[in-house]
C-alpha cells in the first residue's frame, strides 16, 4: 500500500493540538516528491515519521497519540512515530492581561 504524503499532512494538521509541520533543526525532515518536498514528514516502508509544532497550552503527552490515531488509517500496518519539534509561542494577546 502506497502512503499518500499529502493525506498524512492533511490528517496531521487537522489535529487540534498541531500548529504546523516541522522540518527539524536543519530542515532535514521531508518527503521528496517529483518537483516538490513535503516538510515534516518522512515515509519509508518501515515507518511514517511525523514532525510537528504543537500549539501552546496543549497536554504534550497527548499530541503523539492524537496524531497517530489520525494518521494510522492512512499508514496501514506501518507504525507512525511522532516528534514534537517545537511549541508555538503564545501570542502577545494571550500573554497580556486585558486592558
Closest CA to 17 of 80, 82, 67, 83: 67
- pLDDT at position 32 is 81
Rounded CA-CA distance 75/40 in Å is 16
List, in order of start, the domains of the chain with CATH numbers: 5-95 (3.30.70)
CB 38 within 8 A of CB 9: yes
The residue assigned the cell 494538521 is 13
What predicted TM-score, i.e. pTM, was given to this entire model? 0.85
Q: Compute CA distances 56 → 18, 33, 49, 76, whole Å.
A: 9, 31, 22, 30
- Among the listed residues 63, 99, 59, 64, the one whose alpha carbon sits nearest the alpha carbon of residue 81: 64
pLDDT tens per residue, the chain (99 residues)? 689 999 999 999 999 999 999 987 766 787 888 888 888 999 999 999 999 999 999 999 999 999 999 999 999 999 999 999 999 988 744 555 555
Amino acid at each position: 500500500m502506497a502512503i499518500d504524503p499529502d493525506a498524512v499532512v492533511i490528517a496531521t494538521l487537522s489535529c487540534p493540538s498541531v500548529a504546523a509541520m516541522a522540518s527539524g533543526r536543519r530542515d532535514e525532515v521531508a518527503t521528496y516528491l517529483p518537483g516538490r518536498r513535503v516538510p515534516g514528514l518522512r515515509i519509508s516502508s518501515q515507518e511514517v515519521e511525523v514532525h510537528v509544532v504543537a500549539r501552546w497550552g496543549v497536554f504534550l503527552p497527548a499530541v503523539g497519540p492524537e496524531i497517530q490515531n489520525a494518521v494510522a488509517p492512512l499508514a496501514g500496518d506501518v507504525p507512525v512515530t511522532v516528534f514534537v519539534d517545537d511549541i508555538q509561542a503564545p501570542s502577545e494577546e494571550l500573554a497580556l492581561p486585558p486592558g
